[in-house]
Amino acid sequence: MNNIFPKTISHVGIISPAGPADRARIEAGVALLHGWGLKVTVMPHVFSGTLESYLSASAAERLSDLHDCWNDESIDLVICARGGFGSAHLLPEIDWKLLRSRPLPLIGYSDITALHMGMLKMHAGIPVVAPMAAKLHEAFIENQFAEYTAGYCRSAMLGLPEQIKSPDGSNPVRIIKPGSVEALPLPANLAVMVTLCGTEYFPDVTDRVLILEDLNEPPYRIDRYLTQLKQAGILSKCAGIAFGDFLDCGGHDELQLIFHKTAEAVNGPVITGFPFGHGLPIVSVRMDRRIRITESGAVFIGE
């Protein structure tokens, strides 16, 4: 597969702001990027480890890697190694003035939602949801949807508009609440998003379309998180919701019931089936490019 990134990206920095990454998977991702002719710097603390087995390194070390990417002006793109937990530890210590100094894209999802939401709130960098370093080889080489995933990632990085389609060319979304909207998107892991409610790092969702996904959460927790967003006034402020993949989160019918109840609090369209989540294929989304949902349920991103 040819390089999917624009010519403006020649040097990629890899950081691990949350959980520890599998070295072999990172090395496979690095080899792929090298094969595209890109310079890759795996930041010094990606594999440092710590006494907390669920963290890649100490908070100070993870923060240092993030700041060093911004300070190295030759780095054009930052890709997070994986999710897990730990991104929220960095938020109070991030040099937000530094991150506002240049529009550096930062790729991630899952726990990286915490960083992305902080970036939106502080108007820093360009948050992008797309395959992370430990999943690059799987996303772009090892599965039957590689071309699909790569195509949407390429369009996102180039800032090109695309209509959301399934790999077979059909419209994957289903309308829960009809309506039309054109607004900036906010893709997020639902559980991580809820943990930032009430903090200074929760961005204004007014006139944003939430694109929500989750993993390994039973239906009552999905209901709990969405109820939290409703009671916090988040759902009534947003411009609409696109529900993505909810892998291993219970049965389809029960989830649909929860989504339909949630739609009652939203003053805009609500759809389900948006191809975003922990599985593949995945549609990449830049948070500085608009999403448009039509009355018929067609979805366009990157406009």
Dump pLDDT digits (tens) for 148-181. Answer: 999 999 999 999 999 999 999 999 999 999 999 9
pLDDT digits (tens, 9 = 90+) for 270-286: 999 999 999 999 999 99
Taking residues 241-253, report their average pLDDT: 97
Element of type H or E holding 196: none
CA 17, CA 36: separation in Å to the nearest integer?
A: 25
- Taking only the tens place, the pLDDT of each residue in 174-203 is 999 999 999 999 999 999 999 999 999 999
Contact call for residues 239 and 183 (beta carbons, < 8 A): yes
The proportion of the chain whose per-residue pLDDT surpasses 70, expressed as a percent, equals 100
What's phi and psi for 141, nearest 5 deg?
Answer: -130, -45
The two structure tokens encoding residue 91: 């938020």
Beta bridge partners of 106: 78, 127
pLDDT digit string (tens) for 77-118?
999 999 999 999 999 999 999 999 999 999 999 999 999 999
pLDDT in tens, 28-44: 999 999 999 999 999 99
Q: Which domains are seen in the chain, by residue range?
A: 11-142 (3.40.50.10740), 161-301 (3.50.30.60)
**What is the rounded (10 degree) CA torsion for 282, 288, 1, 37?**
-140
The structure tokens listed for 266 are: 């939203």
pLDDT over 90 at 238, yes or no: yes
pLDDT greater than 90 at residue 1 = no
pLDDT at 211 over 90: yes
Q: What is the pLDDT of residues 57-67, one digit of tens each?
A: 999 999 999 99
Q: Are 131 and 153 in contact (CB under 8 A)?
A: yes
Nearest Cα to Cα of residue 294 among 210, 171, 122, 160: 171
199 three-class SS: coil
β-strand pairing of 162-163 with 299-301 = antiparallel
Q: Is the peptide bond before 281 cis (omega within 30 degrees of 0)?
A: yes
Distance CA 85, CA 19 (A): 6
pTM, whole model, 2 decimals? 0.97
Average per-residue pLDDT in the chain? 97
- How far is the C-alpha of 134 from the C-alpha of 14, rounded, in Å? 10
Tokens matching residue 31: 């080899």
